[in-house]
Amino acid sequence: MEAHPHFSREEINSTVWEVPEKYTRLKQIGTGAYGSVCSAINEKTKEKVAIKKLHRPFQSEIFAKRAYRELRLLKHMKHENVIGLLDVFTPASSLDEIQDFYLVMPYMFTDLSKVRGHLSEDKVQFLVYQMLCGLRYIHRAGIIHRDLKPGNLAVNQDCELKILDFGLARSTDAEMTGYVVTRWYRAPEVILNWMHYTQTGKTIVAVTYFYLRLCCNCNCLSCENSTYRDVFLLAMAYLTMDQLTQIMKVTGVPGPEFIQKLDSLEAKNYIKALPRYPRKDFSTLFPRASAKGIDLLEKMLVLDGDERPTAELALEHPYFDSLREPDDFPEPTPYDDSP
């Protein structure tokens, strides 16, 4: 098969890429269940970009809807801490011939799942601030990300951060289940589907757990006891019930007022049966953390979602006084999820 005029064709790691000739020096930088990503150079602008090829996006209705949703959401995003869309193309010359299409986005050096080595608290503070700025924008647009995790948080060498991958995102008006979020980063209420899935605080907990994991693993805010080092990242070795128990060993088991709010009888009975673990002293667990950082963590790790701050409220915390700028808070156009 010959390439479409003005397109070049090459095979990269057993995947055929057919892209406009202006995109050169393709190199695979990532792959997943839904697509592969290559870096490339736009010879017209001389900028480095990331090109995502979706894996067989029209093989089923579910895949097609996911691809369509991701395309629409990327087009909607206009915030420096949220990935946006630079270009979209297909090598097909007619609608009937479309089998593949490609999304072109800004190139980012790496993602936070690959971060290694020491990070100072001011860098961790800056990363968390940017995550919250991006989340505030996403939430105010009426969108819930639903898969916030280190692999979907891209960074450059100067610690600039962008939230990636909106394939699982939904409008806040949509009916949703909590089980799509990658297990390690589920909020406690999502683990057992305790409450209605709304935007208030759900991804905030995921951010906080990641923040704790980053601090511990990078020895920025060292954990006093290795027992707690990965308490919020229990991976697949634990069932979700075990994960929740480990979380509550640090955050404390909630009281009867919170239990009454739960929708699930199973969740109520589960929490009632737990030993009365007290809340750990975060200043002991994280002795190198600043007082303001500890205060923010404590507020963001309140198990009751009604009491936990949203991204917008968290950004008002004194911990971010040195970073807060009006330009970081643009108002998004509300996202319209209608076909």
What are the residue numbers of the active site? Answer: 147
- Cα–Cα distance between 303 and 296 in angstroms, integer? 14
The three state secondary structure string of the chain is CCCCCCEEEEEECCEEEEEECCEEEEEEEEECCCEEEEEEEECCCCEEEEEEEECCCCCCHHHHHHHHHHHHHHHHCCCCCECCCCEEECCCCCHHHCCCCEEEEECCCEEHHHCCCCCCHHHHHHHHHHHHHHHHHHHHCCEECCCCCHHHEEECCCCCEEECCCCCCEECCCCCCHHHCCHHHCCHHHHCCCCCCCCCCHHHHHHHHHHHHHHHHCCCCCCCCHHHCCCCCCHHHCCHHHHHHHHHHHHCCCCHHHHHHCCCHHHHHHHHHCCCCCCCCHHHHCCCCCHHHHHHHHHHCCCCCCCCCCHHHHCCCHHHCCCCCHHHCCCCCCCCCCC
Strands 170-171 and 143-144: antiparallel
> CB-based burial of residue 83 (10 Å sphere; 0-12 exposed, 13-18 middle, 19+ buried)?
buried
